[in-house]
């Protein structure tokens, strides 16, 4: 029985590639992207090629682990098309894209703990003393099983503190001990109600909104305004005090990471608010849909440890174990969101009926899970199919796909904003990249080249991502909402050109020194 259960079941699919019969095999644990890459390899095309399968009846077959098994006599016909970037690409673009898209998932942490900045030597001495005492206690006293387990956890925590103090890292590979969902009545006095000017109210609806000018409490008030202005408070009969507590609790459950922090949460939510107004989404969606979109944005990175899914899986962290290596971060964000909503003091959906809440929960979960960049190709391929011949807003599956694409756009929309707003985010992102790669090197884990501080630069980090991910995605959405082309796609093209110029300047050899010039003249 033990041997049988350890055998990994595989699925065999037969393919027809330009008249040549091929066979691929994969396990049920493979993702859609893995299967796509496997077929691309068999077809002799790049992993960025668009690939579609058709059965013998001419029907499209979805590229996922649940695809129907076929036979050698009825193979799936493979059609592939290489991507064509919006401008001529240099020889290094493919490598950049490989680096970026392979693990762009979701991004990354460096929390400068006060303990790591102040009195480091004193703390190290104190911690070493405590560690030694705990280890002697375990060896000499023969503690009971429960006590031993507790001491092991304490020792592990202390070792992490030593490492964190030296490297100024926080403990990232564990879940937060407790989600902060306590009653926030005592802190409501610190959450001032700001009076927003009409200029700010209108500016808040624009993709160019500068998110760096606002303090945390001001961002809370702006979020509150968005929910009121969109009619969500009235739609869900939300108690205004409960809404305040909800936002406070959300803010408290974002860690102080360089990138994945509460300001990023606000940034993504504000962009969604801007797209709702820019595209007049209330004309094609219900207020319930808008509420799901906005709440998913608010919660989409809750308790993000700052280290991506690849690290979680390779390091076999508690998150990866809990969620079986399947989108561990995104599943955790969902769990924390509904843990917060499980508290009556913070439950903004407390006054909706059971069926409505069931739809809301399913919708929020679907959207947060869609932010895993490992699913990017799958979601975009599905969306493109929904656009032909004409998008059907009345079809639930089509509308769900549109909502997934919208939250994806907002999640990685920084380069849509003006340069002075977007560029600081690149620095924050690289800081998280470098912290993760430093840790991976220490632990002997694989390091992605685009996260290695010795290999990546700001232009190389952005060019491929903008050219092959952002521009194609926003151009596809612009087919449905043409207004996006001038307000979002064009800024992306400008950003791409700016980084390409930056890369070219960085690669130019320095001019010869003045002394060399004089010597050359003399030699002649």
In the annotated binding site for AMP, the residues are: 260-264, 301, 411, 462
Q: Which residues are annotated as catalytic?
A: 260
Cis peptide upstream of residue 389 (ω within 30 degrees of 0) = yes
Residue 325: exposure state from Cβ atoms within 10 A (0-12, 13-18, ≥19):
middle
**Cα dist from 24 to 7, 41, 81, 411, 448, whole Å:** 18, 10, 20, 34, 27
- The answer to whether 112 and 255 are in contact (CB under 8 A) is no
Count of positions (residues) in the chain: 524
Question: Structure tokens of 242?
Answer: 């409960």
What is the enclosing helix (H) or strand (E) of 13? Answer: strand 10-17
CB atoms within 10 A of CB 354: 7
Residues sharing a CB contact under 8 Å with residue 118, sequence separation 6 or more, in sequence order: none
- Eight-state DSSP code of residue 134: H
Helix and strand numbers (H, E) in the chain are 24, 5
Strand, helix or coil at 383? helix
**Cα dist from 83 to 45, 127, 243, 459, whole Å:** 11, 55, 45, 21
Pairing of strands 10-17, 76-81: parallel
**Maximum CA pair distance of the chain?**
90
Alpha-carbon dihedral 343, 345, 351, 357, rounded to 10 degrees: -30
Residue that is written with structure tokens 């009545």 in the block:
185
CB atoms within 10 A of CB 324: 11
- Eight-state DSSP code of residue 324: T
- How many whole angstroms separate alpha carbon 33 and alpha carbon 103? 12
**What separation, in Å, do the N-terminal and C-terminal C-alpha atoms of the chain show?**
86
Strand, helix or coil at 238? coil
- How many whole angstroms separate alpha carbon 208 and alpha carbon 481? 18
Which residues sit in the known binding site? Answer: 260-264, 300-301, 411, 462
Strand, helix or coil at 487? helix
The string of DSSP codes covering 183-223 is: --GGGGGGS--PPPPHHHHHHTTSTT--GGG--HHHHHHHH
Report the DSSP beta bridge partners of residue 514: none
Question: Structure tokens of 19?
Answer: 């008249």
Question: Structure tokens of 480?
Answer: 């449905």
């Amino acid at each position: 029985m033990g041997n049988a259960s350890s055998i990994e079941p595989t699925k065999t699919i037969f393919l027809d590639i330009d008249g040549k019969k091929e066979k691929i095999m994969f396990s049920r644990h493979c993702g859609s992207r893995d299967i796509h890459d496997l077929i691309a390899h068999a077809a002799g095309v790049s992993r960025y090629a668009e690939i579609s399968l058709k059965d013998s009846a001419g029907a499209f077959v979805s590229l996922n682990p649940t695809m129907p098994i076929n036979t050698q006599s009825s193979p799936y016909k493979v059609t592939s098309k290489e991507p064509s970037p919006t401008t001529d690409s240099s020889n290094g673009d493919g490598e950049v894209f490989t680096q970026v898209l392979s693990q762009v998932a979701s991004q990354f942490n460096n929390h400068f703990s006060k303990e790591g900045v102040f009195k480091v030597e004193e703390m190290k001495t104190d911690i070493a003393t405590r560690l030694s005492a705990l280890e002697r206690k375990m060896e000499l006293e023969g503690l009971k099983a429960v006590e031993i387990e507790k001491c092991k956890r304490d020792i592990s925590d202390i070792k992490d503190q030593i490492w964190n103090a030296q490297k100024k890292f926080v403990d990232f590979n564990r879940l937060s001990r407790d989600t902060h969902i306590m009653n926030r009545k005592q802190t409501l006095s610190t959450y001032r109600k700001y009076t927003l000017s009409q200029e700010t109210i209108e500016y808040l609806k624009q993709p160019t909104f500068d998110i760096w000018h606002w303090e945390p409490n001001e961002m809370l008030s702006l979020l509150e305004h968005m929910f009121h202005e969109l009619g969500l408070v009235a739609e869900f009969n939300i108690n205004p005090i409960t809404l305040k507590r909800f936002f406070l609790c959300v803010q408290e459950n974002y860690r102080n990471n360089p990138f994945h922090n509460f300001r990023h949460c606000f940034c993504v939510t504000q962009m969604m608010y801007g797209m709702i107004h820019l595209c007049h989404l209330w004309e094609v969606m219900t207020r319930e849909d808008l509420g799901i979109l906005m709440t998913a944005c608010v919660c989409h990175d809750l308790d993000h440890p700052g280290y991506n899914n690849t690290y979680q899986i390779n390091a076999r962290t508690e998150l990866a174990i809990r969620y079986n290596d399947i989108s561990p971060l995104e599943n955790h964000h969902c769990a924390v969101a509904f843990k917060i909503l499980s508290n009556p003091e913070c439950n903004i959906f407390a006054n909706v009926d059971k069926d409505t809440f069931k739809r809301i929960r399913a919708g929020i979960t679907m959207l947060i899970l869609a932010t895993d960049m490992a699913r990017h190709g799958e979601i975009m391929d599905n969306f493109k199919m929904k656009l032909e011949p004409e998008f059907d807003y009345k079809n639930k599956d089509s509308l769900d796909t549109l909502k997934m694409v919208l939250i994806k756009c907002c999640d990685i929309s920084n380069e849509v904003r003006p340069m002075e707003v977007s560029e600081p985010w690149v620095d924050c992102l690289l800081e998280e990249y470098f912290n993760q790669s430093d840790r991976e090197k220490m632990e002997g884990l694989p390091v992605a080249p685009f996260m290695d501080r010795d290999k990546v630069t700001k232009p190389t980090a952005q060019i491929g991502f903008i050219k092959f991910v952002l521009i194609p995605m926003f151009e596809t959405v612009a087919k449905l909402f043409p207004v996006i082309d001038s307000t979002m796609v064009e800024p992306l093209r400008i950003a791409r050109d700016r980084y390409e110029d930056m890369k070219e300047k960085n690669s130019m050899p320095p001019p010869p020194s003045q002394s060399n010039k004089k010597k050359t003249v003399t030699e002649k």
